[in-house]
């Protein structure tokens, strides 16, 4: 299971840094972020991220790809406010991220649904803490269930759903609070290939209809080329940005299309071209 070190659980998620500066229209600024994990006991320290900088524009779909161990999940957790950076900072809509916030909807590879809650209760979970009225919350849950095509399963429990359906619930829950950013770490890693392609198409539909900013972590290059406006290609040891690739392929994208294949080859070459 990725990134469950259990730390930082007690942070105040409402804290906002008034001194943070804004960088134009960027939705997310990753600004010279570094992360060193100290080895437990006598283990060597690991430089998981070194001087990582890039920005994601409002409404943009950016994928983060790279080999296992290049720091994708570490960066995801830092952006989500679940782990502290050793150096640098993350800004969301110009404000420094100091802990988890409802401005981000987070989707993990594991479904992280509450098994004792129904699908609609899972989707509405984050809304419980919002200042919306009960009627507004209910309407919002309805909208989200429609968006991911699960209205008829509203009263079911997670255990009766397939993996793909569970991940749709996780996406609906993340979007319910109307976040600035949808942040996803290998969200389709646990489903079969066919379901995965379907979820990719659905996510693009959701992105197009909601206009959300999406930052999507994957180690699957074809998935990144299917989804992204731009791909941040990372390299390992230390985890860093190798290059940022524009995906100049019209949507909907077909895997058999020559330009699709060229982009896949380019990104693979960059990943293979490590130190
Ligand atoms: P990725 O998601 O790209 O596979 P990770 O962010 O999980 O990469 O890991 C990056 C590096 O940091 C790896 O060398 C990994 O072993 C190390 N690492 C990740 N989490 C921890 C941790 N909690 N403690 C120590 N080292 C860690
Ligand atoms: Mg990972």
- 87 and 106 within one domain: no
Ligand 1: centre distance to CA 71 (Å): 6
Of the three residues 193, 218, 243, the one that is the final residue of a domain is 218
pLDDT at 54: 98
200: its two tokens: 């990719």
- Tally the domains of the chain: 2
Is residue 13 in some structural domain?
no
Cα–Cα nearest to 105, from 27, 171, 174, 167:
174
Ligand 1: centre distance to CA 74 (Å): 6
Is residue 201 in some structural domain?
yes
Is residue 223 in some structural domain?
no
Ligand 1: centre distance to CA 146 (Å): 37
pLDDT tens per residue across span 131-167: 899 999 999 999 999 999 999 999 999 999 999 999 9
Which atom from ligand 1 is nearest to the alpha carbon of 217? 2
- 140 and 40 within one domain: no
pLDDT at 43: 76
Strand pairing report for 104-107 and 213-217: unpaired
CATH assignment at residue 199: 3.40.50.300
How many whole angstroms separate alpha carbon 108 and alpha carbon 74?
13
CATH assignment at residue 32: 3.40.50
- 110 and 199 within one domain: yes
pLDDT at 272: 86
pTM for this model (two decimals)? 0.88
Is residue 139 in some structural domain?
yes
Rg (CA), the chain: 19
Is residue 224 in some structural domain?
no
How many whole angstroms separate alpha carbon 194 and alpha carbon 198?
6
Which residue minimizes the CA distance to atom 21 of ligand 1? 37
Which residue minimizes the CA distance to atom 12 of ligand 1? 48
Residues of the chain with pLDDT under 50: 1-23, 274-275
Ligand 1: centre distance to CA 117 (Å): 32
Ligand 1: centre distance to CA 189 (Å): 17
62: its two tokens: 């950016």
- Structural domain including 95 reads 22-68+76-100+229-275
How many whole angstroms separate alpha carbon 215 and alpha carbon 227?
10
pLDDT at 39: 78
Which residue minimizes the CA distance to atom 26 of ligand 1? 37
- 197 and 153 within one domain: yes
Is residue 247 in some structural domain?
yes
**DSSP designation for 23:** -
Q: Which ligand is nearest to the CA of 65?
A: 1
Is residue 11 in some structural domain?
no
Which atom from ligand 1 is nearest to the alpha carbon of 74? 6
Is residue 214 in some structural domain?
yes
- 210 and 178 within one domain: yes
| Ligand 1 pocket list (CB less than 6 A) | 2, 5, 37, 46, 48, 66, 68-74, 239
């Amino acid at each position: 299971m990725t990134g469950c070190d259990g730390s930082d659980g007690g942070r105040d998620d409402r804290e906002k840094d008034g001194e943070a500066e804004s960088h134009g229209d960027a939705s997310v600024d990753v600004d010279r972020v570094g992360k060193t994990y100290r080895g437990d006991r006598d283990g060597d320290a690991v430089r998981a991220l070194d001087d990582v900088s890039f920005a994601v524009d409002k409404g943009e779909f950016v994928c983060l790809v790279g080999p296992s161990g290049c720091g994708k999940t570490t960066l995801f957790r830092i952006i989500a406010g679940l782990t502290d950076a050793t150096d640098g900072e993350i800004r969301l809509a110009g404000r420094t991220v100091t802990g988890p916030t409802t401005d981000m909807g987070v989707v993990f590879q594991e479904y992280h649904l509450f098994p004792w809650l129904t699908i609609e209760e899972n989707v509405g979970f984050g809304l419980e803490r919002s200042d919306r009225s009960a009627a507004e919350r209910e309407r919002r849950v309805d909208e989200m269930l429609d968006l991911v095509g699960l209205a008829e399963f509203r009263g079911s429990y997670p255990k009766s759903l397939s993996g793909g359906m569970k991940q749709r619930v996780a996406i609906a829950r993340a979007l319910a609070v109307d976040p600035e950013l949808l942040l996803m770490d290998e969200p389709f890693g646990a489903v079969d290939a066919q379901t995965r392609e379907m979820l990719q198409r659905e996510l693009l539909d959701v992105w197009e209809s909601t206009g959300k900013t999406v930052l999507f972590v994957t180690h699957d290059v074809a998935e990144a080329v299917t989804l992204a406006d731009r791909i941040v290609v990372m390299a390992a040891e230390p985890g860093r940005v190798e290059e940022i690739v524009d995906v100049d392929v019209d949507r909907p994208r077909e895997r058999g299309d020559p330009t699709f294949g060229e982009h896949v080859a380019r990104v693979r070459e960059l990943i293979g071209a490590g130190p």
